[in-house]
Amino acid sequence: MTPARVSSAGFIEYDVNTPNVITGLRTTLAVPAKPAPSGTIFIRTGLQPTPNGMNLQPIGNGALLSVLTWGPSCVRDTPASYSTWWIAPMYSNLSSSDPQYSGCHAGKIAAAEPTQLIDIEARLDGTKWVQRVVNRDTLDASDFSIDLKGQAQGRLFFNIDLQTNNKPTEDVILTHTVVSMDMADPGACQPIMRGMNDFVSKPRVSADGKHCCIDRIVLRAPGVAATTTDPP
């Protein structure tokens, strides 16, 4: 299946169909060069429920996120200046009135410098989602977990979220991505959406059909010249 092209750049999405659910994600993010010292840039790896997924309510449409950030954010203790990229595992929900879920909840931040590799993991443990990010170069790590009470997560996305006119100056590269599902569904290993200038390698599917292995993902912010040789 050829993924639908979306007009925006820096966006790739995978979905599973109910009653299947995503149960885990692993990926490695290479920290890009430092951009201009202004605005806020979010490079997000995220999981969300789909509208028809199990137990969407009462929690509503929140997102499990590991966010590499340049600039200020809702997360506490962020760097006071544009001295470094930083990352934290988090949960964000703008649709819930329950203080346990509403708003922005996160682990501690981990600093990240250009060319460093960040290992990102999210896994389902019972009804609790356990997230962890580790800077492979410094071993600085952060953990965050939240009980979503059986709410199914059926949407996976990788994107560059630009809050201002500032943007990454080079391609954002993720490697060694593994997506795990509760049920076999090789078709879900193909993205359903991809930005016009983004790239994703052909997936390899495990023998049991429950795991998608994606060697390389490239996100390119709109208007940014290619810094890799991957085809658009």
Strands 155-162 and 193-195: unpaired
CATH topology of domain 4-219: Jelly Rolls (2.60.120)
Q: For residue 181, what pLDDT is reported?
A: 98
Quickly state the pLDDT bin for 28 (edges 50, 70, 90): very high
Q: Is the pLDDT of residue 2 over 70?
A: no
Q: Is-contact 176 51, C-beta < 8 A?
A: no
Q: For residue 6, what pLDDT is reported?
A: 54
Tokens at 216, concatenated: 């390389």
Q: For residue 4, what pLDDT is reported?
A: 53
- Spell out the domain ranges in the chain: 4-219
